[in-house]
């Protein structure tokens, strides 16, 4: 695993905040990936082009960083079927919670949304409980 670098974390967080603020100012939209993906896959009144460009920019940005020499840790120890199940559970939770961690945690909290505060606290508590169970009870 790569060593933690607070400056790159700060720069990454600032870029995420800048992108979220820019999207809100220019398009009036929250930078929640689940909502953007839904709009890209289903016809919507706001147009699909920017949604598709936003989603394609996520892996392309990582590829550009890798090409520039940034070390990107890749973990491949998990079986693909577990990744598929995890993805489906995340999708279900996103629908159940009316948004994802980026929509609630980054954008909703910045807007002072009480609903996003509850959702983000729930995400964090369930994540912590999952790690505890996986590491200390199941011994993973």
Number of structural domains (the chain) is 2
Co-location of 113 and 100 in the same domain: yes
Query: Domain end: 18, 46, 74, which one?
Result: 74
pTM: 0.70
Q: How many CA atoms lie within 13 A of 122 on its CB side?
A: 15
Q: What is the dihedral of CA 39, 11, 94, 34, to 10 degrees?
A: 10
Co-location of 66 and 10 in the same domain: yes
Give the residue among 54, 42, 53 at the shortest CA–CA distance from 102: 54
* CB-count exposure of residue 35 (10 Å: 0-12, 13-18, 19+): buried
pLDDT by residue for the chain (140 residues), tens digit each? 457 778 888 988 898 889 889 988 998 888 888 888 888 888 767 678 888 998 999 899 889 988 998 887 777 777 888 888 888 888 888 877 788 887 888 888 888 999 999 989 998 998 899 899 988 998 86
Percentages (nearest 5) of helix, strand, coil residues in the chain: 70, 0, 30
Co-location of 43 and 81 in the same domain: no
């Amino acid at each position: 695993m790569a060593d933690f670098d607070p400056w790159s974390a700060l720069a990454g967080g600032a870029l995420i905040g800048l992108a979220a603020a820019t999207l809100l100012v220019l398009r009036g939209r929250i930078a929640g990936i689940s909502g953007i993906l839904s709009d890209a896959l289903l016809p919507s009144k706001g147009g699909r082009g920017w949604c598709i460009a936003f989603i394609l920019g996520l892996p392309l940005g990582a590829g550009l960083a890798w090409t520039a020499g940034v070390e990107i840790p890749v973990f491949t120890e998990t079986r693909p079927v577990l990744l598929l199940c995890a993805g489906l559970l995340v999708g279900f939770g996103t629908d159940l919670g009316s948004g994802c961690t980026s929509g609630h945690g980054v954008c909703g909290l910045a807007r002072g949304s009480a609903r996003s505060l509850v959702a983000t606290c729930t995400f964090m508590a369930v994540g912590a409980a999952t790690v505890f169970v996986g590491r200390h009870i199941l011994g993973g």
